[in-house]
Amino acid sequence: MKKKQGLTFFDLFSMGFGAMVGVGWSATLNNLLKNGGGPIPAAIGFSLATVVFIPVALCFAELAPAIPVSGGVIAYTKRAFDKRMTFIAGWFVAMAYISIVPWESIAINDIISYIFPAMKNGNPLYSLAGENIYGTTIILGIVLSLIVILINWHGIEKGAAFQSIMTLSLLGGSVICVIFALLHMDISNLVTPVYSQIEGKSHTTIWAGIFTMFGLAPSYFSGFDTIPQSVESAPDVDKRKLGKVIVIALISAGIFYALIFLSAGLAFPWTQTIDMDRPVLSNLFTKIYPGMLGKVLWYICIVATLAGLFSTWNGFYMAGSKVLYGMAKAGILPAVFAKEHPKYKTPYVANLFVAVTMVIGPFLGAGVLDILSVLSSSGFVIGWGIACMAVIRLRKCEPRLERPYKIPAGNVIAVTALIFCILMFLNCVIPGLPGYMGISGLIAFAVWTVLGIIFYKVTNQ
């Protein structure tokens, strides 16, 4: 009997789900509830986002098994459009992935500092964007970054195995959190009040709170598109299932977020939860379960939080290097990015490029997290939108392309997904809208765009 090799269905699911569900659901739950004006509007906002993202995921579900090669959006755009459009798609998706990598290396220091407060004792080395940077946190961030880098250096199977372990830990820990939250449920905690305007937030109605959450959603749901990056490494997975795993991962993440918001809201008055110190969900359990049980649940929640953080970190590290590798293979980035390790067959130059951004993260500190978040969101919706366009284009120019899964209803769903992506991008760049990236974000976006133009000109002289 032939032994199966490469990635499994669950490995692919772990990449997508683990990349989407990071750390915010636990550590900064209070900020999410503030942005929504309560757990109910927060849950509705993210549920609405899940529904909106399904058409986008369906576009990837058609493309991934039809063009099962590394590179994801790059491969699809190359097949459907010219070199320039391929570069635009790849460059901004790379921006999205690479922005998340240092974000996670910053966030993990924050989480571990909750467990070991002494890490931030003494005088900081310096301050950046209003946040103090300590030598101990820099060292820790570098060490943890090296662990992720070395795991992936030895092949995608190693990185995928680590991803699966982290996803299982995340799922197991979060299930325990939800169960014990519901055991202490009181409906009055959730609905008193259903919505409230929060100081410092601009919304004044429940609908505005819902759409504020909707505006934040791209950065929290980004990750389902990491699955197509690795389908070439899953030769034994039925092509018909490749599309399903993308949609399943997206819907699972939406359900996960809604359950966390609602169970936490039922367990404890949310108007008090929003004033808790981080890590919020862990501290919530010490409130509702005084004594040893509360302490045990605190640590279980912290472990699940770290697992979520590592799964996102690892997933985007793998995806970011795959995008650069795919762009080099397509001839739109210098060929050096396509070099593979002679033994492990990993794109080691692309890996090293992303690794540098990972190691830089601890030197930047939490003050730059917002800028990195909006850069990521805008990059994703550009890439997703071009993927939707590729579906429409390929149906016209390659009608006989084998499609193990084909979106029903003609081009209606693909066009709808494209419109959603355009609206989400406008939400990022138009002042006054909930997802507006601000002047700092626009400057960073412009710098990345100019850098991309330079790369393109140099590569395509």
Chain segment 16-58, per-residue pLDDT in tens: 887 788 776 777 788 889 888 999 999 999 999 899 899 999 9
Would you put residue 365 in left (φ > 0), alpha (ψ -120 to 50) or beta?
Answer: left
Q: What angle do CA 360, 222, 436 make, to 5 degrees?
A: 80
In-domain check, residue 337? yes
Asked whether the predicted pLDDT for residue 365 surpasses 70, the reply is: yes
Cα–Cα nearest to 16, from 176, 167, 200: 167
In-domain check, residue 373? yes
The average pLDDT across 418-424 equals 92
Condensed to tens digits (0 to 9), the pLDDT of residues 381-397 reads: 899 999 999 999 999 99
Omega of the bond prior to 117 within 30 degrees of 0, cis? no
The average pLDDT across 106-122 equals 79
* CB-CB contact of 19 with 223 (8 Å): yes
Distance, CA of 120 to CA of 433 (rounded, Å): 36
Asked whether the predicted pLDDT for residue 355 surpasses 70, the reply is: yes
pLDDT band at 5 (very low <50, low <70, confident <90, very high): low
Is this prediction's pTM over 0.85? no
Q: What is the CATH number of the domain that holds 355?
A: 1.20.1740.10
The average pLDDT across 179-204 equals 88
In-domain check, residue 44? yes
In-domain check, residue 1? no
Residues in contact with 308: Cβ distance below 8 Å, sequence separation at least 6, in sequence order: 18, 21, 22, 23, 25, 26, 166, 170, 174
The average pLDDT across 126-130 equals 78
- Per the prediction, the chain carries an average pLDDT of 85
The average pLDDT across 273-284 equals 87
Omega of the bond prior to 102 within 30 degrees of 0, cis? no
Backbone angles phi, psi at 62, to 5 degrees: -80, -40
What's the pLDDT at 261?
Answer: 94
Written as six digits, the tokens of 295 are 């302490």
In-domain check, residue 222? yes
Asked whether the predicted pLDDT for residue 398 surpasses 90, the reply is: yes
Domain with 334, as residue range(s), is 9-459
Asked whether the predicted pLDDT for residue 1 surpasses 80, the reply is: no
Written as six digits, the tokens of 302 are 């912290």
- C-alpha distances out from residue 375 to 62, 93, 142, 454, Å: 27, 10, 23, 19
In-domain check, residue 2? no
- Per the model's pLDDT, the better-predicted residue between 103 and 53 turns out to be 53
Distance, CA of 25 to CA of 308 (rounded, Å): 9
pLDDT band at 3 (very low <50, low <70, confident <90, very high): very low
- C-alpha distances out from residue 214 to 41, 296, 365, 380, 433, Å: 10, 34, 26, 15, 11
In-domain check, residue 110? yes
In-domain check, residue 3? no
**Most confident of the following: 107-111, 138-142, 188-192:** 188-192
Calculate what percentage of the chain has a pLDDT beyond 90: 29
Condensed to tens digits (0 to 9), the pLDDT of residues 197-211 reads: 887 777 788 988 888
Q: How many domains does the chain have?
A: 1
The average pLDDT across 412-421 equals 94
Distance, CA of 461 to CA of 279 (rounded, Å): 51
